[in-house]
Structure 1
Amino acid sequence: MKQFCTNCGTEANPDMKFCSTCGQLLPDPQLEEVASDQALKDEEALHDHGEVGAPAGIGNTPYSHIPKPPPSTEHDSSIVEDPQPKQPSSPPPIPPQPSLPKKPMSKGAKIGWGITGLTIVLLIIAHFIMQSLVDPMKKIDQIVTAYEAKDEAMFDYLTIQQGIIYEPQSFFQYYEKQGFTSNDLKRELLQALSMTNEEFYATVNDLNGETFGYIEPKKWLIYDTIDVVPNSYAWQANTDFASLKLDVYGEEHTLTEELKTVGTFLVGEYEVTLQADDIPFGEKEMQYPVQITPAGEWETTFSAETFGMIVHTNIQHDLSPGTLTLLVNGEKSKLSWTSMDEPLTVPFFKSDKPFELQLQLEREKETIQSAKVVVDDNHAHFIELPFDSALLQKVFPASFTAEEAEQLIVHFREDFEKGLNFSSGNYIQEYFPPNSKIQNEYIKFVNDTAASAAYHFHRFDTSLLSETDDTFVFTSVEAFDFYDGKTTQYNRTKEYTVQIIDGQLYITDISIKQTNKS
């Protein structure tokens, strides 16, 4: 096998280790053959396993088969020195490297930069839009413009808490009647705005000096803004009806004797519904108007005196253990009483037809009925349903002593003096049977007493003359001074008749037997 120098290409003897021309170390033919064989095997193996292009030493080729250059020897006696030393050849010139072209920006990067730029632009636009939307002056202009046009959109610009009831047109009508114009509103809003700061809110007044609402400074994210809050008022109600309900715009409330908040309103006129299941006759439901104004009363008592009737009767003492029941057209109603401590109240709204009313008293196995009255007036608030005196005596047998009867006329004499000196019959009216002749005469006499007159009682002695089951008769000796510009002294002898009527002691007669004056 021929061998050539790898440096200068001179053909060399296979036994030579160095080139005779340039002195280059020649490769060992045997190692080269082994390496060639091994390379061929590796190529076949790579071809068989589809590992073309794998570097040497990877795969199944053992590292021990990779040929290694033979160790160099510093001197060899068989080397023939080149008579002229080899001049180092200058390195070949390095050709100029072409500049690499810039890699073009990917489509994804272009989209990313575009989105970033668009986002910045949108944020700037959004900033100015939000700043405009929350601008206090713009909100005030929106409120004033809507107020002038009576546009319900105004309430979208106001801050109204959830649950507050308002009627937009009624709201506008209230301030229109007051003469509160849009210019007035704008002036008041701007004045209040100038007085606000981060911690202080300012009130907005109407023409009457009442509070229209207030401006409260707010922070929305990084923007300064305001809330314009209209004034609202809590309406409270109670009742002395046994069962009364209020329907306030869909919310039902059961009322008791204690005041209860049944709604919070802006100014205006509203209408609620009254319902009472225990109303003994007539309609069980009615509409009730509610007027809410800044200077108004926000409490309503639904009492029988206003929304029903008061029943007067001549029972003067406790019913215990009796029961008093209201009869409607001769039938028992669900309305009854077991005490006379409070007035007899009958809840009543209205009726399109007349009703006959009567009271029935049941006590100690006795049952009696009062007189009857026909109610055909929706505005009748007071009715009289008296019992017969003899029947009451049967149900309420009297048991008064002579001492109790005597105390009655002693107290009468004291109140009679007060009534004369103050010209008022109210002091003595309860000592006589209601609506009796003697009651009317004495009340007139006392009321007609001259304001300049004066009475001074300094003696009143009494003694019992006679007594029956229901009547006591007393004699009296009285002395008093009367002054009407001059003083006159009186000494009189009288007789007082005291009777038990409807279970109560009354003075039924006063007769003068003798009079001396000086």
Structure 2
Amino acid sequence: MEFCTTCGEQNSEEALFCTNCGKSLQNAQQKTSEKNEPKLSTQEIAPLQKMTNKQKWIYSISGSVLLVLIIVHFVLSSIYDPTKQISAMNEAYNNQDKEVFFQEFYVKEGTEANAKNFYAIVKDYGWTNLRDQLTNEVERIKKNENPDIIYNNGEFISANSKPILFGLYNKVEFTVIPTEVYIHAPFKNMTIKFGDKEVVSKSEGEKLNLGKYIPGEYAWSYSYEEGYMPLANKGNVILKAQSENIAEIDMDWNFQTVSVDSDLEDAIVYVNGKSTEKKVSELSELYPAQLNSKIEIYAQSQDKNGNAVKSEVLPLENDSIYLAFEHIRTEQKMAEHEDLIKNIYKNYRSDYASAIRYTNFDYIEEYFKEGSKIKKDYAKFVTDHDNIPGYNYDFLLNDITAFKTLSDKQFELQSFETFNYSSDKEGSTNYERKKKYVFSYENGEYFIDEIVDLDTKKTKF
């Protein structure tokens, strides 16, 4: 039994504290132990031994290692403290240090991502709002509760506890959840680039998986070389997380239809020197097309002699193109000249009859160039009839027998003309004449340059 030295209460020998007053019983037990222990004689007490250098070295190293372990523990605890991680995010965001800010988050391997994109999306979302949500998720993890996923249209960021050093420490990993991006390629063998990834379509209308991307702004482009003309376009798109984190990108293909027409519908259409193997009549609408001044279009055919002829070459600047053939235009223009000159000849013969009848050159004055010899000669011929007593003309026939283009400015017309002429002095005579008229075209006007008598047959009455 053990008695308390303070209050005298009797306690069991195993008790460390008095059951009555609560004082420690260790001193009493120690004294009891000392009483019960056999005392050694002076001869039996061993002398204290001095610590060796080796022992000193071992104790020193052990102490240093223990100190280092303690320091490392505090350092790692600080490193993996999620609260400090959020503070580092906050500092980097406020300093607009996009790279450092982005490094505080985790992105799964194979995901397209960059710091600039992520910073812009967080700014749009609201960093204060996101910071508070991240802090809440950290508190849930500390309480061993399941954290929630942060949403931004779709799943945006998740917070997860990750064991470090065999579970001695736990790091909170903030994972940016990617969106899987798809696009429908309208044609086979289209090269499509989105961000840093490039894919080629294998069939028309194929749904292409472009990969996984974190939200942000991405550059896109495409090229297509197998149509009637090379097609390409590029731009930027803001990718936001969507339901189920799947997004289908709608690129601006910029396709349009170009209507094509020509003087010759059976001419073959060429684009940038490459045959479409289609006639104008078969390719009245060119699709897919893009307006581009660097793309040139023309058509090719044959003239009446079997020679290859090419239309004018036009840049693809309008959604409607007319491919004109110069030889067709020339033929049309020549035909216009021929029709006009034949009409001029008919009018001239009618006005000539009036000028002779009334001995007035004014009727035909404008058919000749000012100051020309033929104009002077015909002015004299008309007025000289004032000196012919009893003359009369009966114009019977003015037929055009031939027409020829001498140049784009000069033309020849041949005629067969008949008339009866009579005068008091010469009596009556029938005339049959083959004549040549040479017309010129200047500044939109036609003139008679020559009138040549090729053959005349006279028959007296």
- TM-score per shorter chain, which class? 0.3 to 0.5
TM-score w.r.t. length of structure 1:
0.41
TM-score w.r.t. length of structure 2:
0.45
